[in-house]
Structure 1
Amino acid sequence: MKILTPLIRWGSYPLIFGVCTGMQLAILWLHLPYWPLAPIIAALGLTAVALLERLQPYETLWLNDHHDTNVDILHALTSLTLIFTSIEIATVILKFMPVSAIWPTDWPIGVQVLTAGFIIDFGLWFMHWLSHKNDLLWRLHALHHSAERLYWLNGERRHPLSAVVLAAPGISVVVLLGAPPEIIGCWLSIITVHLAFQHANLDYSVGSFRRLLGVAEVHRWHHKREYEDAQVNFGEFWMIWDHVFGTYRYQKNGVRAGEVGMKESMPITYLAQIKWPFFRRV
């Protein structure tokens, strides 16, 4: 067990995320079917993170159900459905809308995916930041911050409308630039596993790369219970934008159990949470 501890701490992210990313790219390189391979690969990555949490948790208390597991499963099913049907949505849009022909389709596939991811990630960062500044958008986004613990399912704990608001601008730009739907789908499949790591109750680290990547030891600060303390680390994948706009924060004494969530109460049932933004008491 002592041997496993450093292996999990330092090897879990590069190994699991790296393998899943390589397999998603292989789908493009080998012209394999996106369905069902991309969702299966992502599911394997999510399962690995969930199992490692049980083996080496960051917070033992976060392993316990907080009356949230069942509802988080429903949120995850909704969010993942949106993610993995995005390639179909992009395909339909490309058929009926005039798009630019400037997308560099002659570039290596990996570079195209990174380029699409760079654009999408900035759109996510900006809309995420805006969701903390605009009251209407915050009402939709607050569900994500209402979790009383952080674990692998939190990455998909989002109001469906908030998910659309966050992702639509960046994805729309990439679509209008003429990016092939499979390139967009590949990036979104890759980011699914990253989001599980970003919210994982797993004692892992990427060392100095935390300044570049939005991993758990950085992202936990964004989930601080005190709203004024949570206005940091908006990055979904890269932390570049937080450095540029001065919203990056990291301290060694990380966020612990009892320090995440919201001061405002949130219903515990799925439908009540979906309706909450529209009937919230001001």
Structure 2
Amino acid sequence: MDNFLRFMIRWFSYPIAFGGTAGWMIWLLYGGVPYWPATPLIAAVGIALVAMLERLQPFREQWLEDHQDTLTDLLHMLVNLSVIQFTATVLARLGDWVPDAVRVFPTDLPLWCQLLIVAAILDLSFYAMHRLSHHVPWLWRLHAPHHSAERLYWMNGERRHPLHAAIMAGPGLLVLFAMGTPSVLAATWFGILTVHLAFQHSNLDYSLGRLRNVIGVADTHRWHHKREFEDAQVNFGEFFLVWDHLFGTFYDSAGRLGDAEVGLRERDYPTGYRAQLAVPFRRRKQAQACRASRTAS
């Protein structure tokens, strides 16, 4: 591949592919076009672009190979995108029914400003629950499937236990519901975030330069998946990194991953989809049995 094409992919893939799909979704929002099925279809186009660009310019060649994870990740992606869209639709539509007398969401602001408020509330929810998930044992068991990936590529963003996906978004969605937020705003932001997460976890050699300190792209997020758990307690932000800066968890890891591995220290973590759904509860029972046996002895 010639140097010009490498340069273009490295510096313009995110602005063009992400910016283009996000702009398209926002244009539909301004046009009053129903988000279903247009927004999910646009998100699918954005994800497909990331998958294609990975093949042209991978961050690591070995991450292009199947690690007995492709089918598992595909199932995670299909289930979790459905769960998130369904949850957002139900809770946000309830918000549509909030009486005007108690509605506090500022619908008189420009649409772009309303969307930014939705993004900030949801992103704070994601940050808080994500950080808690690294410290609360039962939340970590639900979060571990996401970190069990031993390569990072376009489908990893949706490798999540569906219960954990709902827990991550739940507080923010409840706040938006209580505020009477129009449902289309939440649905549009989830569509935009879906494309971003594909970039954030991608095996694509791209960069945003200094903007990596503001937006949670792959440059900074790969360190969060580092196998050495103690080093990975940084860069929890899903989209914005402002919360990491405010709460002292930001680390500029761009270019520092080197040959370091990603994944869990636990090498025997199951790779099958059904096993990953069951393992958080099975491991809990095993831990309880161990504690019981120690008490008995």
TM-score range, shorter chain: over 0.9
Residue type at the aligned position of 1:274 = L
Deviation at 1:27, TM superposition (A): 1.4
Contact 2:126-2:238 within 8 A present in 1 as well: yes
- Residue number in structure 2 paired with 1:34: 35
Q: What secondary structure, in the 3-state scheme, does the structure 1 residue paired with 2:155 have?
A: helix
Contact 2:59-2:205 within 8 A present in 1 as well: yes
Residue type at the aligned position of 1:158 = R
- Residue number in structure 1 paired with 2:220: 218
Q: How many angstroms apart in 2 are the aligned matches of 1:97 and 1:108? A: 20
Stretches of structure 1 lacking an aligned partner (at least 5 in a row): none
Contact 2:87-2:166 within 8 A present in 1 as well: no
Contact 2:225-2:263 within 8 A present in 1 as well: yes
Listed one character per residue, the Cα deviations across residues 1-56 of structure 1 (whole Å, up to 9, x for unaligned) are 22110000000001111111111111111111211100110000000000000000
Q: How many angstroms apart in 2 are the aligned matches of 1:86 and 1:191? A: 15
- Residue number in structure 2 paired with 1:239: 241
Contact 1:59-1:256 within 8 A present in 2 as well: no
Residue type at the aligned position of 1:155 = G
- Residue number in structure 2 paired with 1:134: 136
Listed one character per residue, the Cα deviations across residues 80-114 of structure 1 (whole Å, up to 9, x for unaligned) are 11232244312443367678411111111111011
Deviation at 1:194, TM superposition (A): 0.4
1:134-213 matches, within 5 Å, as 134-213=136-215
Contact 2:236-2:249 within 8 A present in 1 as well: yes
Stretches of structure 2 lacking an aligned partner (at least 5 in a row): 288-297
- Residue number in structure 2 paired with 1:275: 278
Contact 1:62-1:257 within 8 A present in 2 as well: no
Q: How many angstroms apart in 2 are the aligned matches of 1:151 and 1:271? A: 21
Matched, 1:20 2:15: no
| Identity across matched positions, percent | 49
Deviation at 1:221, TM superposition (A): 0.7
Q: What secondary structure, in the 3-state scheme, does the structure 1 residue paired with 2:3 have?
A: coil
1:78-97 matches, within 5 Å, as 78-94=79-95
Q: How many angstroms apart in 1 are the aligned matches of 2:110 and 2:236? A: 29
Deviation at 1:234, TM superposition (A): 0.3
- Residue number in structure 2 paired with 1:102: 104
Q: How many angstroms apart in 1 are the aligned matches of 2:139 and 2:254? A: 31
1:255-274 matches, within 5 Å, as 255-256=257-258, 259-264=261-266, 265-274=268-277
TM-score (norm 2): 0.91
Residue type at the aligned position of 1:271 = R
Contact 1:83-1:189 within 8 A present in 2 as well: no
Q: How many angstroms apart in 1 are the aligned matches of 2:279 and 2:121? A: 31
Residue type at the aligned position of 2:233 = Q
Taking structure 1 as reference, are residues 223 and 132 closer, same or farther at Cα in structure 2, changes over 3 Å only? Answer: same
Matched, 1:122 2:138: no
Contact 2:147-2:225 within 8 A present in 1 as well: yes
Q: What secondary structure, in the 3-state scheme, does the structure 2 residue paired with 1:143 have?
A: helix
Taking structure 1 as reference, are residues 178 and 96 closer, same or farther at Cα in structure 2, changes over 3 Å only? Answer: closer
Q: How many angstroms apart in 1 are the aligned matches of 2:97 and 2:281? A: 33
- Residue number in structure 2 paired with 1:67: 68
- Tell me which moved more, 249-258 or 224-233: 249-258
- Residue number in structure 2 paired with 1:47: 48
TM-score (norm 1): 0.96
- Residue number in structure 2 paired with 1:6: 7
Cα RMSD between the aligned structures? Answer: 1.5
Taking structure 1 as reference, are residues 36 and 95 closer, same or farther at Cα in structure 2, changes over 3 Å only? Answer: closer
Taking structure 1 as reference, are residues 136 and 26 closer, same or farther at Cα in structure 2, changes over 3 Å only? Answer: same
Contact 2:92-2:176 within 8 A present in 1 as well: no
